Amino acid sequence: MTVRPATADEHCSVMRIVDGAMLETDAGEVRERIENGDVLVAEDDGRILGAAVLEPCDANMHIEAIAVRRARRARGIGSALVGTARERYGGLTAEFDPNVRPFYESLGFDIEPAEEGSDDRFWGTLEREY
């Protein structure tokens, strides 16, 4: 498996994966992120297995969306996407639902409620490695 920046002709594949994970993303924004080199894809034998849509945010990159094909989940693909993003960009942030908190915890994100007193959404920060 290889993790690399998405190309413009992979926009539809990225959108299928993100839509399949029922994540809300704007297709135009994803296209713009691809053009800026801020979408990573995990591929194996020419097939896109997962994607991470990233957006600059202060001194970090924010994980706008990360998704893996349903049949390929729990095989380290999402972890590889986050690992490559961290190597490439440094510090990362993410906002996410409670059901994916274990994923972000396993990667070493510092996690807190996105809003004080709420357990509906969480905010995670993964500091730059030095």
- Token output for 38: 């801020």
- Identify whether 81 is part of a domain: yes
pLDDT tens, residue by residue, 38-60: 999 999 999 999 999 999 988 78
Write the CB contacts of 55 (distance below 8 Å, at least 6 apart in sequence): 33, 38, 61, 62, 64
- Identify whether 130 is part of a domain: no
- Identify whether 71 is part of a domain: yes
- Identify whether 108 is part of a domain: no
- Token output for 128: 């730059």
CATH number of 51's domain = 3.40.630.30
Q: How many domains does the chain have?
A: 1
**Owner of token pair 């896109």:** 48
The residue segments making up the domain with residue 51 are: 2-90
- Identify whether 103 is part of a domain: no
Write the CB contacts of 111 (distance below 8 Å, at least 6 apart in sequence): 101, 104, 105, 122, 123, 124
pLDDT score, position 118 = 66
Q: Could you write out the three-class secondary structure of the chain? A: CEEEECCHHHHHHHHHHHHHCCCCCCHHHHHHHHHCCCEEEEEECCEEEEEEEEEEECCEEEEEEEEECHHHCCCCHHHHHHHHHHHHHCCEEEEECHHHHHHHHHCCCEEEECCCCCCCCEEEEECCCC
- Identify whether 117 is part of a domain: no
> How far apart (Å, rounded) are the C-alpha atoms in residues 115 and 79?
26
pTM greater than the 0.85 cutoff = yes
pLDDT tens, residue by residue, 10-32: 999 999 999 988 888 899 999 99
